[in-house]
Amino acid sequence: MKVILLEEVVKLGKDGDVVEVKEGYARNYLLPRRLAVVADKGNLKNLTVLKATEERKRARVKEIAEKLAGELAQTKLVLKAKSGEEGKLFGAVTNTDIARLITQEAKTAVDKRKIELSEPIKRLGTYVVQVKIHPEVVATVALEVVQG
């Protein structure tokens, strides 16, 4: 029996996939739990419309993320931190500090888990910070750590 998955099913497929399963598995497990619907003409037509809508939505989200990445790339962040002699910081600059600074300067909320540092920031200087805005879009931001 051919069914269209409505949710991801382990070892079977992800939502939107049309898969062939045994009739008993479909009737007793997939259909009652609303994990799938029977793949008839009407449901297949709805699936194509739904996939087209999802694709447009994904493209729009990616476009917004690319625009935001462009804006962030133009922004130069300056972080004031306490440091000792020879430019060594008391502590380190963390993802949380950078996320807070991006929120203040660029007026855009960024999750601290989306910020990737190539190395821990423990000295004064200029650093390159990667911000993963979207699974396919990464913004590069210049961060300058100065004596504060």
What CATH number is associated with residue 123?
Answer: 3.10.430.100
- 45 and 107 belong to one structural domain: no
Q: Which residue among 44, 64, 84 closes a domain?
A: 64
Question: Which residue range is the domain that position 56 belongs to?
Answer: 2-64
Average pLDDT, the chain: 92
Instruction: Tell me what pLDDT residue 63 has.
Output: 96
- 87 and 27 belong to one structural domain: no
**Whose structure tokens read 């962030």?**
72
Q: What span, in angstroms and rounded, lies between the C-alpha atoms of 85 and 68?
A: 37
pLDDT in tens, 65-115: 999 999 988 988 999 999 988 889 998 999 999 999 999 988 888 899 999
Task: Name the percent of the chain lying above pLDDT 90.
Answer: 80
- 108 and 133 belong to one structural domain: yes
- 108 and 130 belong to one structural domain: yes
Q: What is the CATH number of the domain that holds 46?
A: 3.40.5.10
The tally of domains found in the chain comes to: 2
